Structure formats: structure tokens, C-alpha cells
């Protein structure tokens, strides 16, 4: 990565149990109307897991007791030099109860019924790796928000 390419680092957290996954519908901003995990920009002075725990609580009310790093995503948008680096986590243990926030409408989905048609296009490519428990690294180049020009996904030994 050259020095002129800015990088933005994000967290993305999925709350899981044996048969269901908690998704949130983004009510405003980037990705509005799409179902996704909970997350956002890592702030100065916090670690990536700290940012992940903070965003999860802010957006759906749950406090993660543990986080498992399950994958890494990189996104570029054609014509924009910015690299988005998204650290993907799962949590199976948490306290608190699910609440709707100004940013997100949370809802449990059966793992067999994930609403890919109303999610970022990349999700249906890498979700299978996450659901199989394989640590993945994905790179996606978008044109606008509704077309993937190219992508690749590798399975890595857990970092
Ligand atoms: P805020 O801007 O609300 O954080 N995110 C993406 N997630 C998926 N699945 N696909 C993408 O394709 C994404 N781009 C960003 C990272 C945005 C949240 O959305 C995730 C953050 O969790 C382009 O702070």
C-alpha cells in the first residue's frame, strides 16, 4: 500500500448462537437500508477489539463477554483511493438485552434464512467461510454500491 492511500479501520461484529445470527438494519448513513453486523470506525486510542465491543453496545445494547476474530475484509471503491479495512468478529457470550438504537434495527435471523438480497453484495461470498469457522481474508473492488468488479477470498491459518 503506497503512502498516498488512506486506510480506514472498522469493526464488524456478529452475535451468534447455534441456529441464529443477530443482524441490524442500518437506519442512516453508509449502508442505509442494508442488514449487517454491528460496527463502525475504530477511534483514536482504542484497540480494534475495544472499538468492536463499544460499537456493538452502542448499536444494539449487548455487551460482548468474548470476541472471536473470524476474518478480515478489505474494500476499495473504484475512483477512491481509500482502503476500508474491516475486522470481523463473532461473539457467542454476552450480557444485556437487544435494543433498537438510532442507527440500527436489530433482528435475529435463522442461519438458513440470511437476507442476502438486502445486504452488502460481498456478504454472500464470505458468509459461508464465517459460518464454517474458517478464518478468511477477502478483498473486494466495488463500482458504486451495487456492483463488485473483482474479488478474492483466501482461507488463512488463524492469526
Ligand atoms: P459506520 O460507517 O456506520 O460503519 N462495512 C461493510 N460491511 C460489509 N459487509 N460490506 C461492506 O462493503 C462494508 N463497508 C463497510 C463496516 C460502517 C460499518 O459497515 C461495515 C462497519 O461495521 C463495502 O461507522
Per-residue pLDDT tens over the stretch 123-138: 999 999 999 999 999 9
Instruction: Tell me the per-residue pLDDT of 71-83, one tens digit each, with 9 for 90 and over.
Output: 999 999 999 999 9
Report which secondary-structure segment, H or E, holds 95: strand 94-95
Q: Is 36 in the pocket of ligand 1 (CB under 6 A)?
A: yes
Cell of 70: 473470524
* DSSP H helical ranges for the chain: 48-60, 123-132
Name the more confident of 32 and 2. 32
Please tell me if the CB atom of residue 10 comes closer than 6 angstroms to any atom of ligand 1. yes
Answer whether 116 contacts ligand 1 (Cβ < 6 A): no
Residue 109 has pLDDT above 70, yes or no: yes
| Ligand 1 atom with least separation from CA of 26 | 3
> Which value does ipTM take for this structure?
0.98
**What is the reported pTM?**
0.96
Bridging pattern class, strands 94-95 and 63-64: antiparallel
The maximal CA–CA distance of the chain, rounded, in angstroms, is 44
Amino acid at each position: 500500500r503506497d503512502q498516498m492511500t488512506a486506510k480506514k479501520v472498522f469493526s464488524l461484529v456478529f452475535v451468534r448462537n447455534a441456529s441464529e445470527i443477530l443482524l441490524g438494519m442500518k437506519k442512516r448513513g453508509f449502508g442505509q437500508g442494508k442488514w449487517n453486523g454491528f460496527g463502525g470506525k475504530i477511534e483514536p486510542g482504542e484497540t480494534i477489539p475495544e472499538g468492536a465491543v463499544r460499537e456493538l453496545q452502542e448499536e444494539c445494547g449487548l455487551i460482548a463477554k468474548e470476541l472471536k476474530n473470524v476474518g478480515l475484509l478489505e474494500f476499495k471503491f473504484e475512483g477512491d483511493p481509500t482502503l476500508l479495512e474491516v475486522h470481523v468478529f463473532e461473539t457467542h457470550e454476552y450480557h444485556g438485552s437487544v435494543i433498537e438504537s438510532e442507527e440500527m434495527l436489530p433482528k435475529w435471523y435463522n442461519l438458513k434464512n440470511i437476507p442476502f438480497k438486502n445486504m452488502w453484495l460481498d456478504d454472500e461470498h464470505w458468509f459461508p467461510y464465517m459460518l464454517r469457522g474458517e478464518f478468511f481474508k477477502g478483498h473486494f473492488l466495488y463500482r458504486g454500491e451495487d456492483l463488485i468488479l473483482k474479488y478474492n477470498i483466501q482461507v488463512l491459518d488463524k492469526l
